[in-house]
């Protein structure tokens, strides 16, 4: 077998980049936010925290919160013709109105 090059954050330099005003800061409000089942959320990675991070192909997608699993939430998204469930930490979620 060939040796695998790279990992989960490969080719994410621009995708996970923060603006210069937000660099180095972690929002406590997003970290501690409470979500209810049925809430619409946007997947927006907080690059400083790797725990509960989803795969980079889902960055920018919108989904629906299902149940709570420990500190994380189960988020259902639509990926082409399939429905997928992701387990995401709340720091990587933004509530959509």
14-23 mean pLDDT = 90
Range of the domain at 35: 28-95
The pLDDT tens digits for 52-61 are 999 999 999 9
88: CATH: 2.30.30.70
Tell me if 6 is assigned to some domain: no
pLDDT grade, residue 4 (50/70/90)? confident
Tell whether pTM > 0.85.
yes
Structural domain includes residue 15 = no
14 in any annotated domain? no
- What are the backbone dihedrals phi and psi of residue 36, each rounded to the nearest 5 degrees, phi first? -105, 160
Domain count, the chain: 1
As a residue count, the chain comes to 97
HSE-CB of 9 using CA atoms within 13 angstroms: 12
Is residue 17 domain-resident?
no
């Amino acid at each position: 077998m060939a040796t695998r090059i790279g990992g989960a954050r490969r080719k994410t330099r621009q995708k996970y980049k923060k603006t210069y005003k937000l660099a180095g800061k972690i929002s406590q409000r997003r970290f501690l936010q409470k979500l209810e089942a049925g809430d619409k959320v946007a997947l927006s990675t907080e690059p400083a925290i790797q725990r509960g991070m989803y795969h980079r192909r889902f960055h920018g997608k919108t989904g629906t919160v299902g149940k709570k699993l420990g500190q994380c939430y189960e988020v259902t998204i639509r990926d082409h013709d399939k429905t997928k469930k992701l387990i995401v930490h709340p720091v990587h979620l933004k509530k959509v109105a």
